[in-house]
Amino acid sequence: MPPQSIADIQSAIPQILEQVPYLKLLVLFGSRARGDHFPSSDWDFALLFDEELRQQYEPGRSWNCYRSWSVLQQILDLGDDEMDWVDLKNASDLLAHEIARDGVAIYENELGLFEQFRQESLMTPQQLKSNSP
């Protein structure tokens, strides 16, 4: 059954870490994090990985972040149209700002990692204005 709450996702973290032990940070963002979602709203996740650790677990494999996405999708029982994700390492400045502003940390492998991301990613109103399309 798909998650109904943030607590449902948090309870799945041990299963996720069994298959993606190099996960550093998992953040819920978007309407479900803000609390203004509809029952049909998708789940938006931002992920950050420990690349050195990943290479220990998957030596010789080229990086395939879709594997991690599919693990989340399978464990959380979400369909393709029910979940979106972004690799924080590749997020635009504007998207990183939105994640930092509205996101809820579901998992961090080091206490304070999400707060550090927030401090680095939140933009001033002037920066936002210059980054607007």
Q: What phi, psi does 106 have (nearest 5°)?
A: -95, -40
Sign of dihedral through CA atoms 46, 10, 52, 110?
positive
The residue count of the chain comes to 133
Residue pair 46/85 in contact (Cβ under 8 Å)? The answer is yes
List phi, psi (to 5°) of 109: -80, -15
d(CA 31, CA 41): 7
Cite the active site residues. 42, 44
Q: 39 near 80, Cβ under 8 Å?
A: no
